[in-house]
A = this chain, B = another copy of it.
Amino acid sequence: MFSTETNKNLPPVTDILFKQKKAKGLSFEKLGELLGRDEVAIAAIFYGQAQASPDDIKKLAEALELNEVVVANDLGGFPDRGRALEMPPREPLIYRLYEIIQNYGLAYKAVLNEKFGDGIMSAIAFSTKVEKETDDKGVDWAVITLRGKWLPYSRF
């Protein structure tokens, strides 16, 4: 996985969290249940891309058997999102997501403007989830849902 060994933009805590998660045999889904958050948010916290509340930190430290103070030091601040991943992404899985924006970005804008008017879908007042579907031929499909508040441009 992406680690601090080859990715200098990741916080050192990333490696510790992944190591303990593996040692404890915990999935992101399970951690999500323990913290009352989505599994994508948990993974984002691991990479320093989402904020952990004091309660999240306490539960995470317990689940991963880590020192709460140490975890709090590493995760307790305001995250510096956006720097962990180089863009354009070179990792094939993430590139496919990037390619979807590249290919359909104009179409999304056209449809969103038509449905909502002049504005944007927020990436802040926002949640996302990943689901697995298996069709009747036994083929797996990944379904990613992006849900953001619509923000109309202020008139000034």
Flag if A100 contacts B128 (CB, 8 Å). yes
Which residues of chain A from 113 to 133 have a CB within 8 Å of any chain B CB? 113-116, 118-130, 132-133
CA distance A39 to B119 in the complex (A): 19
Interface string of A24-59 (1 = CB under 8 A from B): 000111000000011111111011111101000000
Interface string of A4-29 (1 = CB under 8 A from B): 01111111100000000000000111
* A140: B residues at CB distance < 8 A: 116, 149-150
Q: A82-B102, A82-B103 are in contact. Are A51 and B153 (CB under 8 A)?
A: yes
CA distance A37 to B137 in the complex (A): 23
Interface size on A, residues (CB 8 A): 102
Which residues of chain A from 67 to 96 have a CB within 8 Å of any chain B CB? 77-96
Closest B residue, CB atoms, query A19:
B73
Q: What is the count of identical protomers in the complex?
A: 10
CA distance A49 to B109 in the complex (A): 13
Flag if B103 contacts A121 (CB, 8 Å). no
Flag if A105 contacts B109 (CB, 8 Å). no
Flag if B149 contacts A120 (CB, 8 Å). no
* A94: B residues at CB distance < 8 A: 101, 105-106, 108-109
- Can you list 26 A-B contacts (CB < 8 A)? A1-B77, A5-B12, A6-B80, A8-B8, A37-B156, A40-B108, A40-B111, A41-B107, A47-B106, A78-B109, A81-B90, A81-B92, A87-B88, A87-B98, A92-B124, A96-B121, A96-B123, A97-B108, A97-B121, A98-B98, A98-B105, A112-B142, A115-B142, A125-B152, A140-B149, A145-B145
